[in-house]
């Protein structure tokens, strides 16, 4: 799942942890950072952006996808998602679906700030089997 040697996981982890600190999460106090690596080698970052109208909150993963698309890239090959502990947070259903628009299977690493033992490696295909995609339309 996360064994591709061309992926610099430590660098993606560092970027996800760093951008997590920029999260705007005054309501939940749950900061999330995401680093999305594309085949081009570019890395797009995202963090959650909450709102006083709670339902308008944007997740870190979808923020990273928006940055990717705005930059003209659309071929993600790996994502690292950073949260607080004790358990690494798994992406919500909406973010899984949004990621599935751009990658059938994507290696996903979930990490916790300051707790390397909490790292979990998984993939989008495991997190969202049988995704609804454009070939269904």
| Angle at the Cα of 75 from the Cα atoms of 59 and 55, rounded to 5 degrees | 15
Task: Say whether residue 118 binds ligand THU (CB under 6 A).
Answer: no
Asked if 29 and 50 count as a contact pair (C-beta separation under 8 A), the reply is: no
Exposure of 135 in the CB half-sphere (CA atoms within 13 A): 5
Region from 12-20, 28-36, 108-116, 117-125 binding ligand THU, contact rule CB under 6 A: 28-36
Q: Is 61 a catalytic residue?
A: yes
Task: Say whether residue 59 binds ligand THU (CB under 6 A).
Answer: yes
Angle between helices 93-100 and 60-70 (to 10 degrees): 20
Task: Say whether residue 30 binds ligand THU (CB under 6 A).
Answer: yes
Give the whole-angstrom CA distance, residue 116 versus residue 43.
22
Residues 90-109 that bind ligand THU (CB under 6 A): 91-92, 95
Instruction: Figure out which of the listed residues 9, 20, 37, 61 binds ligand THU, where binding follows CB under 6 A.
Output: 61
Task: Say whether residue 123 binds ligand THU (CB under 6 A).
Answer: no
Asked if 86 and 115 count as a contact pair (C-beta separation under 8 A), the reply is: yes
Interface residues with ligand THU (CB under 6 A)? 25, 28, 30, 32, 48, 50, 57, 59-61, 91-92, 95
């Amino acid at each position: 799942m996360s064994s591709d040697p061309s992926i610099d996981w430590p660098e993606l982890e560092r970027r996800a942890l760093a951008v997590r600190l920029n999260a705007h999460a005054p309501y939940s106090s749950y900061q999330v950072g995401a680093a999305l690596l594309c085949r081009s080698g570019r890395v797009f970052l995202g963090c959650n952006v909450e709102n006083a109208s709670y339902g308008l909150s944007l997740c870190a993963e979808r923020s990273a996808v928006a940055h990717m698309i705005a930059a003209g890239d659309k071929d993600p090959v790996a994502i690292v998602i950073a949260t607080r502990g004790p358990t690494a947070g798994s992406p919500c259903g909406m973010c899984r679906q949004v990621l599935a628009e751009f990658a059938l299977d994507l290696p996903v690493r979930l990490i916790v700030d300051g707790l390397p033992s909490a790292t979990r490696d998984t993939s989008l295909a495991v997190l969202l089997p049988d995704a609804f995609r454009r070939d269904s339309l």
